[in-house]
Amino acid sequence: MDPRDRVVIITGASSGIGAATARCFAAAGARLVLAARSADTLAQIAAELPQALSVPTDVSDPVACAQLVERAGATYGRVDILINNAGIGLTGPVSTLARHDLERVLAVDLLGPIWLMQAVVPVMRAVGRGQIINVSSVLAVQPLPYLGGYAAAKAALEQISNALRIELHGSGIAVTVVRPGTTRTDFNQRRLGRGRERRRIAPPGVAPEVVARAILRAARTEPRLAYVSWMDRLALMASRLAPGVVEAVLARAFRWEE
């Protein structure tokens, strides 16, 4: 749908892709409800934009997610688009991932979007229209060593998005998965897990504004799945055509350092 005058909730709007998406949707005329935990940064971003409300929220808390949707409804009267973008990374060998890190990643990257989808679907059903955009990652389908915990959360997010789309068939509510590749944000500095993977090849990544524009396009065209760059598609195609070869290359290209 055209985002002009639409009410759009964006989680993880205090930084990176979420902040860029907030600016992009503001320029397209949307009315924004911005969520993240960093209240001051969020308020600053909202203050720069013409129609934006900041609602400090930890998406791992189901009550806070319900309150975020209520606040959006109380302020603007409806919610047209939910963009589940908040996320944290996790690195480490699967065999030694710490329980609290894994639980945290699942709570933020998977359960948070689920709580918000559950809160927003009845509101959208009541008006017979809406869109849910879930920000996934190419890692949901492209296996990489030492990123399995994070990839598992994103893969599960994609599957639950696909199931919800079918359940909502004919309701007027679209469900879109956006699958970015490497993006130049602070994401890697903030990720959980001890140690670090060393890569022989590291893609330079795109600017968060490029991902924001892909999310805006996805809002306008409502596809099931949207990529950000053709390079991401190409890498996934290679993996699908010759998985054994790609896995052998990746095993040599990555090394783990405690």
Ligand X SMILES: NC(=O)c1ccc[n+]([C@@H]2O[C@H](COP(=O)([O-])OP(=O)(O)OC[C@H]3O[C@@H](n4cnc5c(N)ncnc54)[C@H](OP(=O)(O)O)[C@@H]3O)[C@@H](O)[C@H]2O)c1
Catalytic residues: 150
In the complex with ligand X, the residue whose CB is nearer, 188 or 245, is 188
Phi, psi angle pair for 254, to nearest 5° = -115, 145
Contact 90, 70 (CB under 8 A): no
Of 6, 155, 183, nearest to 83 by C-alpha is 6
59 binds ligand X (CB under 6 A): yes
In the complex with ligand X, the residue whose CB is nearer, 129 or 254, is 254
Site string for ligand X, 72-91 (x = CB under 6 A): -------------xxxx---
229 binds ligand X (CB under 6 A): no
Q: Report how far apart, in Å, the C-alpha atoms of 162 and of each of 6, 174, 186, 210 are.
A: 24, 10, 29, 24
Rounded-to-integer distance, Cα 254 and Cα 94, Å:
14
Here the tokens at position 164 are: 């919800």
114 binds ligand X (CB under 6 A): no
217-234: buried (b, 16+ CB within 10 Å) or exposed (e) per residue? ebbeeeeeebbbbeebee
187 binds ligand X (CB under 6 A): yes
Site string for ligand X, 9-48 (x = CB under 6 A): --xx-xxxxx-----------------xxx----------
Kindly list the residues in this chain that would bind ligand X in the complex (CB under 6 A): 11-12, 14-18, 36-38, 57-60, 85-88, 108, 135, 137, 180, 182-183, 185-187, 190, 205, 208
